[in-house]
């Protein structure tokens, strides 16, 4: 068993849920998060944006096996290839040593 984590901008929430469904991952959780980029700001020319909060994002996670994760990763790769924005889906897998 492993933990798969997928992050995306909130705009793609329905798409990500469909990817999990296509990968036959039936149980998952999601939480809203703020995404930030550490980009140098031009305070002189853009004073008010320096205080702007992060992008509304969402994080999905599920405990599942390698087979389902492989399918999900292939679906995410295909999704990102066809993306028209600069906000690709990100995914990681974390091994689980123990669970109850």
Predicted confidence (pLDDT) per residue in 53-88, tens digit: 667 899 999 999 999 999 999 999 999 999 888 899
Per-residue pLDDT, 39: 65
Q: Residue 26 is part of a domain; what is its CATH number?
A: 3.30.70.120
Per-residue pLDDT, 84: 86
Q: Is 56 within the bounds of a domain?
A: yes
> Residue written as tokens 């600069």?
86
Q: Is 57 within the bounds of a domain?
A: yes
Rounded Cα distance between 98 and 25, Å, is: 20
pLDDT band (50, 70, 90) for residue 41: low
User: Which pair of tokens denotes residue 5?
Assistant: 């984590």
pLDDT band (50, 70, 90) for residue 34: confident
Q: Is 43 within the bounds of a domain?
A: no
Residue pair 90/2 in contact (Cβ under 8 Å)? The answer is: no
Average confidence (pLDDT) over 1-23: 96
| Count: domains in the chain | 1
**Domain range holding 81?**
2-38+48-95
């Amino acid at each position: 068993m492993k933990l798969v984590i997928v992050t995306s901008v909130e705009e793609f929430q329905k798409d990500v849920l469909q990817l999990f469904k296509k990968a036959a991952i039936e149980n998952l959780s999601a939480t809203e998060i703020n995404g930030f980029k550490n980009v140098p700001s031009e305070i002189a020319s853009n004073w008010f944006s320096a205080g702007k909060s992060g992008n509304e994002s969402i994080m999905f996670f599920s405990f599942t096996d390698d087979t389902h994760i492989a399918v999900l990763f292939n679906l995410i790769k295909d999704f990102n290839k066809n993306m028209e924005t600069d906000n690709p889906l990100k995914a990681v897998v974390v091994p689980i040593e123990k669970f109850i």
